[in-house]
Structure 1
Amino acid sequence: MPEEVAAKLPEVPAKPLTYDVKREGETAVVKCHGRLVAGLTDGFYKELKEVASSSKVLVLDLEDLTYVDSMGLGTIVRLYAHAKSAGCEFQLLHLGKQLRNLLKMTNLLSTLASAEGHGITVA
């Protein structure tokens, strides 16, 4: 019986992740919109990995990001690690309350903030 009830519940689609990449000299600013969640992270990571490889500074502007799950958090950490190994400075701008709390809970806020000279700007 519980399986039948679960099957009848409508599936709530995730708000799609969209992002715009703007280059200003050797700096790439990525404005993110929507939700950074499982199923939407692979393409995001692959494209931004290439952007980081060809930039001196990669800025993720997260002002319009409404939610990040564990896969999304993992993607941010992977981008940070790739950028650092590629000699690219990595910055996070405009952290929302949910992501800031997630970074604090996982002890990543201090790591990401202290890892780079500019750290994280929280608006």
Structure 2
Amino acid sequence: MATQAPPISLTVETERKPECIIVHLRGRLVSGVCSFLYNKVHCLIPDTKHIILDFTELEWVDSMGLGTLVRLYVASKSAGVKLQLINLGPKVKELLGLTNLLGIFAEMGEKGFTHF
């Protein structure tokens, strides 16, 4: 009996603009896909001074996903790159608030949480 591969829970599309790189996330940022996202975004850091993570179609983030966002924040900040989160859904925004991470990402200003 063949085993089925688990469904892919996250897709990532990159959109390059002159002033920034927008990373569109779709699905669930959960254990098992976090290193994929980290590697995909981390390699963009040398190419820009502004990375936007668009959460419009992101349904959920678990604790591993939160850790990945913090790792990306630290790597970006260390390189002088602005990491911005936009279009947070209510579940994701609540989770960031409950874990006191909303304040860390809010350092970018309230514009970080609006539509782009």
TM-score of the two chains, using structure 2 as the length reference: 0.86
Flag as ranges the 4+ runs of structure 1 deviating above 3 A: none
Partner of 2:87: 94
TM-superposition CA deviations, 1:18-42 (whole Å, max 9, x none): 0111111141000100010000111
CA distance in structure 2 between the aligned counterparts of 1:22 and 1:75, rounded to whole angstroms: 20
CA distance in structure 2 between the aligned counterparts of 1:14 and 1:93, rounded to whole angstroms: 26
Structure 1 residue 33 corresponds to structure 2 residue 7: no
Partner of 1:120: 112
- 1:47, CA displacement in angstroms? 1.6
- 1:14, CA displacement in angstroms? 5.5
- 1:119, CA displacement in angstroms? 4.8
- 1:58, CA displacement in angstroms? 0.3
CA distance in structure 2 between the aligned counterparts of 1:118 and 1:98, rounded to whole angstroms: 18
Partner of 1:53: 46
Between stretches 63-72 and 21-30, larger displacement belongs to: 21-30
Partner of 1:66: 59
TM-score of the two chains, using structure 1 as the length reference: 0.82
CA distance in structure 1 between the aligned counterparts of 2:84 and 2:108, rounded to whole angstroms: 8
CA distance in structure 1 between the aligned counterparts of 2:52 and 2:113, rounded to whole angstroms: 11
- 1:96, CA displacement in angstroms? 0.9
Structure 1 residue 16 corresponds to structure 2 residue 14: no
User: Does the 8 A contact of 1:14 with 1:35 survive in 2?
Assistant: no
Supply the AA of the counterpart residue of 1:50.
C
Q: Percent identity?
A: 40
Partner of 2:97: 104
User: Does the 8 A contact of 1:32 with 1:60 survive in 2?
Assistant: yes
| Structure 2 portions without partners, runs of 5+ | 1-5
